[in-house]
C-alpha cells in the first residue's frame, strides 16, 4: 500500500466535521505556518517540495507563487480552481466531498504565504451539494478561530468565499475563471499580463487547483525536503488519480508516482484489471484532453522501457509515442471500444465547450466533429482522415487558451496510433453503420451535424 498524504483520513467516521478533523491532527499546519514561519519561508518550502500543479499543466507551484506582484497598498488574491470539468477527472470532487477541511486548511496556509485576505473557491455549478459541504467547513473553521480577523492572534486576517460557476468547461482556464468570478462571460484573456500581475479585479492573483492547495498541508507538516523524497525525480509527493472506463475498480486512488502503469492497471490495490478477461486496447492517462496511448505504448515506452505513473514517464517520447499526466483522469478502453466513436464523443464535447473567441477553435472544433460523425456513421471518405489531420494541426498552438490544443490532441493521437480503424470505417461502411460501433444508440437526437 502506497503512502497516503491527502486521503489517509478521508474515511475516518465524521471527518467532515471540524471536531473530528481537528482531533485527527487537522489545522496543525496553520498553527505552524502562522505562528512560526514567514510568508516567504512558506513559499520556499513549497519550492523545496517540488510540488507541481495538479490541475493539468504540472507547473512548479512554488515558482508560480514567487511570480505574484506585491505593489504597495494593492490587495492580492488566491483563487482555488475547483471547476473540475475535464471528462474522466473527479478526484477534486472526491477530496472536497469527503475531507473538505483539508482544502480549507491548505487555503489558509497558502493565503498567508501569498498575502491574500480575500480568497475564493470557484466551484463548478454542478457540484451544488459540495458547495454546501465547503460552506459548512468554512463556517466551522471561522467559528473556531481559523478564519476571520486576527487568526490565532497572529494579526493575519482572511476570509474564504465559495463562488459557483455555471458549468462551463472553459472556466477551468484560469483567466476565463477570473472573468467569470468577476461576473463577466467566461472568456479567456490574452496574456500578458498574467494573473500574477493583473488578475481578479486587476489585482495580483494566484490560481491553483484543489489538489495542489490541499498538498500544501503535508508539505508544511513534513517540510519541503521530506515531501520531495516521496515520488521520483521531478514527480514529487503523491498524486490523486481518477480511474474509470473498462476496469474492475473505478475510483480515486492516491499514488506516489513510483509505480508502473501496468501495476496501477492490473493490481488489486488499484484498478483490478479489465472486466470479463478483455484485453487492453488503449488508455487516455490524464483526462480527455491528453493524447490517447495504445496498449503497447501505455505499458512500455517507444524504447521498450517500463512506463511509470508520473509526469516524466508518461510524456517520454513526446506526443509521437507519449502522453501526459494531465489532471490524472485515467480512462481505460478495452478491446471492444471503437476509437473513432470515442474520438467523436470527445470532439462533440470540445465543440460544445469552445467559447468561440478564437476562429481556429470556434470553426475547427465544429469541422472535426462533423468529419468524425461522418466517418463513424460509415459515410466518410479516406480523404476525410487527411482533412481531420490538417484541421487539428491548424488549431493546435493558434488559440488564446489551451482549449484548442485540448480539442486537437485527442484527434491527432487517435489518427496517429489508430489510423487503421479510421480506414476501416471507410472501407467497411455498411458494417460501420450496423455494427455496435455505429451511432444508432449514440448520436444526440438534438444535435446531428451536417457536412
Give the pLDDT confidence score for residue 444 in this predicted structure: 38
Give the pLDDT confidence score for residue 57 in this predicted structure: 82
List pLDDT tens digits, range 61-97: 999 999 999 999 999 999 999 999 999 999 999 999 9
Give the pLDDT confidence score for residue 435 in this predicted structure: 58
Domains, in order of start, for the chain: 18-229 (3.40.50.11540), 242-334 (3.10.20.600), 339-434 (1.20.1440.230)
Q: What are phi and psi of 60, to 5 degrees?
A: -55, 120
State the alpha helices, DSSP H only, in 249-294: 261-266
CB 18, CB 141: distance < 8 Å: yes
Give the pLDDT confidence score for residue 446 in this predicted structure: 32
List pLDDT tens digits, range 298-344: 999 888 899 999 999 999 988 889 999 999 999 999 999 999 999 99
- Collect all residues with Cβ–Cβ distance below 8 Å to 88 and sequence separation of at least 6: 242, 244, 245, 284, 287, 288, 329, 330, 331
Q: What are phi and psi of 7, to 5 degrees?
A: -105, 10
Give the pLDDT confidence score for residue 58 in this predicted structure: 84
Give the pLDDT confidence score for residue 6 in this predicted structure: 96
The number of beta carbons lying within 10 Å of the beta carbon of residue 422 is: 22
Query: Rounded to an integer, what distance in angstroms lies between the CA atom of residue 265 and that of residue 253?
Result: 11
- pLDDT under 50 in the chain at which residues? 437-451
Amino acid at each position: 500500500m502506497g503512502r497516503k498524504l491527502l486521503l489517509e483520513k478521508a474515511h475516518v467516521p465524521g471527518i467532515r466535521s471540524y471536531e473530528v478533523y481537528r482531533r485527527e491532527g487537522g489545522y496543525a499546519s496553520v498553527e505552524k505556518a502562522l505562528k512560526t514561519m514567514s510568508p516567504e519561508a512558506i513559499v520556499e518550502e513549497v519550492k523545496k517540495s517540488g510540488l507541481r500543479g495538479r490541475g493539468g499543466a504540472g507547473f512548479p507551484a512554488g515558482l508560480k507563487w514567487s511570480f505574484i506582484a506585491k505593489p504597495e497598498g494593492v490587495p492580492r488574491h488566491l483563487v482555488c480552481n475547483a471547476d473540475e470539468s475535464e471528462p474522466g477527472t473527479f478526484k477534486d470532487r472526491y477530496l472536497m466531498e469527503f475531507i473538505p477541511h483539508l482544502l480549507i486548511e491548505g487555503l489558509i496556509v497558502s493565503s498567508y504565504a501569498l498575502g491574500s485576505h480575500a480568497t475564493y473557491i470557484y466551484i463548478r455549478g454542478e457540484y451544488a451539494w459540495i458547495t454546501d459541504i465547503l460552506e459548512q467547513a468554512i463556517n466551522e473553521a471561522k467559528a473556531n478561530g481559523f478564519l476571520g480577523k486576527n487568526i490565532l492572534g497572529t494579526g493575519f486576517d482572511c476570509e474564504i468565499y465559495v463562488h459557483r460557476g455555471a458549468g462551463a468547461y472553459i472556466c477551468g482556464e484560469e483567466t476565463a475563471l477570473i472573468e467569470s468570478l468577476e461576473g463577466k462571460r467566461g472568456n479567456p484573456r490574452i496574456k500578458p499580463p498574467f494573473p500574477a500581475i493583473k488578475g481578479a479585479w486587476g489585482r495580483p492573483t494566484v490560481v491553483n487547483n484543489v489538489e495542489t492547495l490541499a498538498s500544501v498541508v503535508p508539505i508544511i507538516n513534513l517540510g519541503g525536503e521530506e515531501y520531495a523524497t516521496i515520488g521520483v525525480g521531478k514527480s514529487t509527493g503523491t498524486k490523486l488519480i481518477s480511474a474509470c472506463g473498462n476496469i474492475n475498480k473505478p475510483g480515486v486512488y492516491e499514488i506516489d508516482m513510483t509505480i508502473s502503469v501496468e501495476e496501477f492497471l492490473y493490481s488489486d490495490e488499484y484498478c483490478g484489471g479489465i472486466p470479463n478477461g478483455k484485453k487492453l486496447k488503449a488508455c487516455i492517462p490524464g483526462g480527455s484532453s491528453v493524447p490517447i496511448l495504445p496498449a503497447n505504448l501505455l505499458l512500455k515506452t517507444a524504447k521498450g522501457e517500463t512506463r511509470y505513473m508520473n509526469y516524466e514517464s508518461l510524456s517520454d517520447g513526446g506526443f509521437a509515442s507519449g502522453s501526459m499526466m494531465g489532471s490524472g483522469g485515467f480512462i481505460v478502453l478495452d478491446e471492444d471500444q471503437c476509437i473513432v466513436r470515442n474520438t467523436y464523443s470527445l470532439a462533440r464535447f470540445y465543440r460544445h465547450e469552445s467559447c468561440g473567441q478564437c476562429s481556429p477553435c470556434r470553426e475547427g472544433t465544429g469541422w472535426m466533429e462533423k468529419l468524425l460523425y461522418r466517418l463513424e456513421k460509415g459515410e466518410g471518405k479516406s480523404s476525410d482522415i487527411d482533412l481531420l489531420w490538417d484541421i487539428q494541426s491548424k488549431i493546435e498552438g493558434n488559440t488564446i487558451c489551451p482549449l484548442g490544443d485540448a480539442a486537437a490532441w485527442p484527434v491527432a493521437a487517435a489518427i496517429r496510433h489508430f489510423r487503421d480503424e479510421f480506414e476501416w470505417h471507410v472501407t467497411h461502411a455498411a458494417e460501420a453503420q450496423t455494427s455496435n460501433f455505429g451511432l444508432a444508440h449514440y448520436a444526440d437526437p438534438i444535435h446531428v451535424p451536417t457536412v
